[in-house]
Structure 1
Amino acid sequence: MLCTIAPSSRAARLSLLLDSGLGTVEEVHHVRRPSQQLLDGGPVARISLPVEELLESPRARRHALSASEPEGDIGSWSPEDGSYVAACVAVKDRSDDLREWIDYHRALGVGHFYVFETDTAEASDWALEDLIQEGVVDYYYLPHVTPTTVPMMQIRIYRLCLQHTRHRHAWMAFVDVDEFLVPTNATQGLKGVLEEYADVPGLVVNWRLMGSGGHEGRPAEGTLAAYQSCTPVSFHDNLHVKSIVNTRLVANTSTDPHHFEYLGGATAFTTARDPVDGPAAPAVHYEKLALFHYALKSREEYELKMLRGSAMGNYKGMDFFDRVDAAATEQCPQAFEACRRFGLDWCAGKAGA
């Protein structure tokens, strides 16, 4: 097995790494856990996903997923159920941002989170300890899983989530930690929106790329308070979408993290019910939902992001920063306003822009 956080003791976790040949004593001793309870047997993941599958041939895993039924029976979920909506995310060196992202989406209506921390020297579960104990977060620390050791890493993590947890939820969102789902109708939460689209295989949400707001270094405020400048609707990159899949009707991942394959060759839809069969929509639609994409943040944070790379092994240069930031001439306070409505501390100390 590659590395899962399910083993019942720190010694077992260290042994797992060493026996697999993926680490040395020096490499794994610095891995910290947030409390003695977690060190000595507290569950970090409610279910133990077979993360060793990440090392198998992508073609073999893709075939296995297409040809097999999901584990367990897919239940009949109601929006009142805490497991109605889940999110699956791969992260790297994002402990400063991860808690705000989870707190916000939990308030929005996401009931469970599968967090896979990859390719990083320091675990971030210290920031999630209470949510792990509460059973809201399943956390997997995979320091030796990288886009180099596991090609198409992000897609394969998504596939792992889909295969082994889809029977637990009605919907599953696949968005990144720098992407926030934002209801454009202040009176409607995420569950209410998804109820209206129970008949579609998947709901795709357009990006709204956000600017740096003139920040050179990381600001003291959270993401939603600090960054409210945005690109216009017509900005070309906003055609890109991310997916919230209907677990009854989704068939598989695709070749990119933006869209999925669906049973019977069906397609996903925008909230305007326009079909989308690819990583981008033919037009931008923000009816009911938008996906605010904080791809830049401050110049300092963006430079660190370039060094970190993406979960797909993609790298963007400063030309992307300059192009998006120059286009971010509008103000989009909707995510910040939603955060304040939710009463989250991240947005309590600053008036809207």
Structure 2
Amino acid sequence: MFWKLPALGKISKIGIRPPQAAPGRSGVAIALIVKNEARHVAEWAAFHLAAGVRQFLVYDNGSSDGTIDILRETLPADALIVVPWRQIFSDARMGREIHNQVLAYAHAASNFGGDLRWMAFIDADEFLVPKQAASIPEALGHLGDARNLSLPWHMFGRSGHVEPPEGGVVRNYLRRARDPMSDVRGVRAFKCIVDPCHLTALRVHSMETDGSGRTCNDRGVVVEERERDKPGFYSADHLQLNHYYTRSESELAAKIGRGPNLAAKMGEYERKVRRTVANIEADEAEDRAALDYLERIGPECVGAARTGG
């Protein structure tokens, strides 16, 4: 009798040795991987610079549309680190692909985390929005010595746009899935902000600090990782994570055309994406949190950030 070996999945969790904390470390960094984000990346970078992000750790997965040039024009030179990151690695013995985004996150934490209090791991279609404070560091200040924060996605759909509208993402996309904790077909997920000097293992959507998966919400309520899916964990009182999943229909079609990060999943990708969009837009609510934040800090702050002034 011959036994068929199960299909081997990707290596999507990486363990690391946390960096040593530097004296007086402070501030918030964002680590992200990009590929051809030229249309919206200036808005994204200017928003987060105005919101107090100290360091942008950008892993460039072969951008060819000027994404990196735009980032260099938008951000101060001392706030931006660009790392070439166009690669596919695998375990040579087992043939398992190593998730390139997780690998970038591990590299960012290991090599740059020692100088920082917080490191966020998000994408260029995700915005960290302070709800009460004037900046992201202030929005995190009440958490004390917390080391692992999980923020739920607030999933935004097309808001009726077929083509990209003038005026940017924040001002034009104001409708999201009503329930951020819905578990219907991919609407719910989390991204993490952690103390990199205590980070010991990571995936794209979950991280471990000091060998534990315990995490907190933005109010500081701590739970085991498996408990964060429960509705009672939800909070966006201090910091909200907006995920502009589709933007316009034409951009959504282009996203589907580019395919998934892992080539093996190409066949199911369009069906999954369209199903997620349908669930986002099946029950929507208006959400002006990001726009309200811009109006609260004043357009001159974002304008100064955009020009590096």
The TM-score bracket by the shorter chain reads 0.7 to 0.9
TM-superposed CA distance for 1:155, in Å, is: 0.5
TM-superposed CA distance for 1:101, in Å, is: 1.0
Match of 1:275 in 2: 223
Aligned partners of 1:203 and 1:244 also within 8 Å? yes
**Secondary structure class of the residue paired with 2:178:** coil
Deviations 1:18-41 (A, max 9, x none): xxxxxxxxxxxxxxxxxxxxxxxx
CA RMSD of aligned residues (A): 3.0
Q: Distance in 2 between matches of 1:297 and 1:306?
A: 12
Amino acid at match of 1:268: T
Work out whether 1:319 is the aligned partner of 2:262.
no
Match of 2:6 in 1: none
Aligned partners of 1:270 and 1:276 also within 8 Å? no
TM-superposed CA distance for 1:297, in Å, is: 0.9
Match of 2:87 in 1: 145
Match of 2:147 in 1: 201
Q: 1:179 aligns with which of 121, 126, 130?
A: 126
Amino acid at match of 2:273: G
**Secondary structure class of the residue paired with 2:154:** strand
Match of 1:42 in 2: none
Q: Distance in 1 between matches of 2:223 and 2:169?
A: 32
Aligned partners of 2:134 and 2:297 also within 8 Å? no
| C-alpha spacing 1:139/1:345, structure 2 compared with 1 (3 Å) | farther
| C-alpha spacing 1:87/1:269, structure 2 compared with 1 (3 Å) | same
TM-superposed CA distance for 1:213, in Å, is: 0.9
| C-alpha spacing 1:248/1:198, structure 2 compared with 1 (3 Å) | farther
TM-superposed CA distance for 1:129, in Å, is: 2.3
Aligned length: 277
TM-superposed CA distance for 1:137, in Å, is: 0.8
Q: Distance in 1 between matches of 2:134 and 2:120?
A: 17
Q: Distance in 2 between matches of 1:180 and 1:319?
A: 23
Aligned partners of 1:250 and 1:260 also within 8 Å? yes
Aligned partners of 1:119 and 1:146 also within 8 Å? no
Aligned partners of 1:87 and 1:110 also within 8 Å? yes
Work out whether 1:231 is the aligned partner of 2:231.
no
Aligned partners of 2:29 and 2:56 also within 8 Å? yes
**Secondary structure class of the residue paired with 2:98:** coil
Q: Distance in 1 between matches of 2:123 and 2:276?
A: 18
Q: 1:111 aligns with which of 30, 45, 54?
A: 54
Amino acid at match of 2:124: V
Match of 2:69 in 1: 126
| C-alpha spacing 1:213/1:182, structure 2 compared with 1 (3 Å) | same
Deviations 1:82-137 (A, max 9, x none): xx100000011111111111111111111110111214444422202235662111
Which protein has greater RCO, CA pairs closer than 8 Å, 6+ apart?
A: 2
Match of 1:32 in 2: none
**Secondary structure class of the residue paired with 2:40:** helix
Q: Distance in 2 between matches of 1:339 and 1:151?
A: 38
Aligned partners of 2:45 and 2:75 also within 8 Å? no
| C-alpha spacing 1:262/1:347, structure 2 compared with 1 (3 Å) | closer
Aligned partners of 2:45 and 2:71 also within 8 Å? no
TM-superposed CA distance for 1:162, in Å, is: 0.9
TM-superposed CA distance for 1:310, in Å, is: 4.3
Amino acid at match of 2:191: K
Listed as ranges, the gaps of 5+ residues in structure 1 are 1-56, 79-83, 349-353
Match of 1:304 in 2: 254
Amino acid at match of 2:73: D
More strand by share: 2
Written as runs of structure 1 = structure 2, the 5 A alignment for 1:209-248 is 209-233=155-179, 235-236=182-183, 239-248=188-197
| C-alpha spacing 1:276/1:96, structure 2 compared with 1 (3 Å) | farther
TM-superposed CA distance for 1:160, in Å, is: 0.6
Written as runs of structure 1 = structure 2, the 5 A alignment for 1:19-168 is 62=14, 65-66=16-17, 70=19, 73-78=21-26, 84-131=27-74, 134-142=77-85, 144-145=86-87, 151-168=98-115
TM-superposed CA distance for 1:211, in Å, is: 2.0
TM-superposed CA distance for 1:341, in Å, is: 3.0
Deviations 1:9-67 (A, max 9, x none): xxxxxxxxxxxxxxxxxxxxxxxxxxxxxxxxxxxxxxxxxxxxxxxx969x946x34x
Query: Normalised by the size of structure 2, how large is the TM-score?
Result: 0.79
TM-superposed CA distance for 1:281, in Å, is: 2.9
Work out whether 1:263 is the aligned partner of 2:219.
no
Match of 1:23 in 2: none
Aligned partners of 1:154 and 1:312 also within 8 Å? no
